[in-house]
Amino acid sequence: MSEAAPELITRRRETTQRQQRILDLLFETGGASIDDLATRFAVSRMTIHRDADALVRQGLINKIHGGLTVRNRATATRSVSYRQSRAPHLKQAIITQAVARIVPEQVLVLDDSTTVAEMLPLLPARAPLTIITNAMGVIQTLSPYAGLKLICIGGEYSAPRNAFFGLVSEQGAQSLRANTMFLSTSVIHGATAFQNDQDVVMVKRALMGIA
């Protein structure tokens, strides 16, 4: 890795965190001006415009003259960037327990959840592993590691979730088998799990069925 790479990684992390904070602020207030956001985050107006453009591409916000507004709260709460910002310390506690259950040679199923995404940097140390997933983020993160065999089920691509869903995904999973699946969901109450997106529910069920 070049000397510039750590600086690039740091800048990307700072950009992601700032975009998440902008989205949180828009959730609270409904809207904000470019000038106010630049002052609040101590960056240039051009930086805020670039952050806004990234959030617009994800379908999360609208850019209006001199300001930003939330486009669709339901879509925003399903997005990867929004979900990544939720309860990071609790996610770390969960994945510590989860990764301890993995042994080499296993076949794992990983869903598109951001809690599962926190596991990914720890998996190469458990190689060799075979990983089945519907999540592009899993493939993108783990593809550099030779000890990890990756199988991605296709389907209809969802940009906000950066993953595949639909009938093709469900059918693609049926011919596969795995030892263990790691997944998360919106709410767990007692023995009941709740997920408010039916397409996501169907793919999770299909993947659970092969583990």
For residues 96-113, average pLDDT:
91
Distances (CA, A) of 20 to 103, 121, 131, 146: 34, 21, 29, 32
DSSP letters, the chain, are --THHHHHHHHHHHHHHHHHHHHHHHHHHSEEEHHHHHHHHT--HHHHHHHHHHHHHTTSEEEETTEEEES-HHHHHHSHHHHHTS-HHHHHHHHHHHHTT--TT-EEEE-S-HHHHTTGGGSGGG-SEEEEESBHHHHHHHTT-TTEEEEE---EEETTTTEEESHHHHHHHHT---SEEE---SEEETTEEE-S-HHHHHHHHHHHTT-
> Alpha-carbon distance 22 to 65, whole Å?
17
Structure token digits, residue 184: 């998360």
pLDDT number for residue 89: 66
| Number of CB atoms found within 10 A of residue 6's CB | 10
Q: Which of 13-22, 80-89, 133-142 has the lowest mean pLDDT?
A: 80-89
pLDDT number for residue 3: 44
For residues 110-125, average pLDDT:
87
Residues of the chain above pLDDT 70, percent? 88
pTM over 0.75, yes/no: no
Tell me the HSE value of 73 on the side-chain side, using a 13 A CA sphere: 8
Query: Domains in the chain, start-ordered, CATH in brackets?
Result: 4-82 (1.10.10.10), 87-208 (3.40.50)
| Tens-digit pLDDT profile for residues 63-100 | 988 899 887 665 555 554 555 555 556 777 888 888 88
pLDDT number for residue 87: 54
pLDDT at 167 over 80: yes
